Amino acid sequence: MKNVILIGMPAVGKSTVGVVVAKRLGFEFIDTDLLIQKQEGKLLKDIIEERGIDGFLEVENQVNRDVETSGAVISPGGSVVYCREAMEHYKEIGVVVYLKASFEIISQRLKDTKQRGVVLRDGQTLKDLYDERTELFEKYADITVCEDGQLLEDTIGTVLEALAGW
């Protein structure tokens, strides 16, 4: 196992789970949203506002596709599943773990989608986005961990157990 890539909806806990999993595996932790912000010199919401969703996705694809590392837990933004090149790259360099939570859990956790830099098209609801992305998360996942009803520590333990088989 070269790398672990955590995918899932915004607010599912990719960064929180990722930092602890990285520590327990002795891996580096990489949050690609931070790489995007560093490269562009702007917050995600400002990039989306200035370039539009398609322009943001181009940047997201490029940054994620260009991640070259080994021994890392990588946490990309939830919209990375729209970036075919990036996802193919991740499938080549590691194990893709889908952190799954029900729509009810996500909607409770995700208060302000604009401030979070969530990629929502005009007229698209959070439920529409959830349904659309779930299909893509399932397509790319090597491992799926459902965190409904689990405490954070349980989710981390489940991820580590699942990775032991890789």
Contact 36, 57 (CB under 8 A): no
pLDDT tens profile 36-79: 999 999 999 899 999 999 999 999 999 999 999 999 999 999 89
Q: In whole angstroms, what is the distance from residue 115 CA to residue 163 CA?
A: 33
Any idea where the domains of the chain sit in the sequence?
A: 3-159
Where do the DSSP E strands lie in 34-163? 72-75, 95-100, 143-146
Q: In whole angstroms, what is the distance from residue 37 CA to residue 45 CA?
A: 10
Overall pTM surpassing 0.95 (yes/no): no
Strand partners, 5: 74, 96
* Residue with token string 């459902």: 146
Tell me which fold the domain 3-159 belongs to.
Answer: Rossmann fold (3.40.50)
